[in-house]
């Protein structure tokens, strides 16, 4: 499964999920319609895109949106970014501050909802689908075998970029001005797509 097919799976699940239904359930259904090998290859691509946004700037965005963000919560947030689909995922990967323009993030501020985009169940969609089609095989045993056969295909270390203090409002405003403004950290509220010229 290449990256394009991975995103096709995600978009198929997004299309199949009812407006008030669970994307994670739809994703399990989509994956369960495929072979064991497809599910394992999906998990490999999922890990790649999940790891690619394991960065301090993305974590700071999650910290702002969630009113704090632990290691485990950051896993769920990155899964939530994937659930948004390829377009939004790539926008956020390029500029985490673009989340200030996402309708769900904007709505969550007004609703005082600090759970938006934190989507734990998406992390486990492959294992849920594998249970359905794996003939009793354990997903994690199958994954270990698959990963061993792909030795060297994944990087062990990830460049997280420059670390900074998420509790320093000035630093957060400098790095994520639109999200900081949305969450009322004292910065002026810029129009969507706009930013201060005093960088």
Quick one: pLDDT at residue 192?
A: 41
CA distances from 165 to 6, 59, 67, 159, 172 (A): 34, 11, 14, 17, 8
Quick one: pLDDT at residue 184?
A: 81
Which residues neighbour 179 within 8 Å (Cβ) at sequence distance 6 or greater? 61, 64, 65, 96, 97, 99, 100, 105
How many Å apart are CA 73 and CA 69, to the nearest integer?
Answer: 6
Per-residue pLDDT of the chain (199 residues; tens, 9 = 90+): 999 999 999 999 999 987 767 999 999 999 999 999 999 999 999 999 999 999 999 999 999 999 999 999 999 999 999 999 999 999 999 999 999 999 999 999 888 888 899 999 999 999 999 999 977 889 999 999 999 988 655 555 678 988 888 888 899 999 999 999 998 864 333 334 433 323 2
User: What does pTM read for this prediction?
Assistant: 0.87
């Amino acid at each position: 499964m290449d990256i394009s097919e991975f995103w096709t799976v995600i978009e198929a699940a997004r299309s199949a999920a009812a407006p008030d239904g669970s994307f994670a359930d739809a994703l399990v259904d989509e994956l369960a319609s495929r072979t064991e090998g497809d599910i394992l290859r999906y998990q490999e691509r999922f890990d790649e895109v999940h790891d690619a946004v394991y960065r301090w700037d993305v974590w700071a965005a999650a910290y702002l949106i969630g009113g704090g963000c632990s290691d485990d919560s950051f896993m769920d947030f990155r899964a939530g970014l994937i659930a948004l689909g390829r377009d939004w995922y790539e926008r956020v990967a390029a500029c985490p501050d673009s989340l200030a323009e996402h309708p769900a993030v904007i709505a969550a501020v007004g609703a005082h909802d600090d759970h938006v985009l934190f989507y734990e169940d998406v992390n486990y969609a492959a294992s849920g689908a594998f249970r359905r089609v794996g003939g009793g095989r354990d997903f994690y045993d199958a994954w270990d075998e698959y990963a061993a056969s792909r030795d060297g295909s994944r990087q062990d270390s990830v460049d997280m970029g420059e670390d900074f203090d998420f509790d320093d409002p000035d630093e957060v405003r400098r790095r994520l001005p639109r999200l900081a403004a949305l969450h009322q950290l004292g910065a002026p509220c810029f129009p969507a797509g706009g930013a201060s010229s005093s960088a």
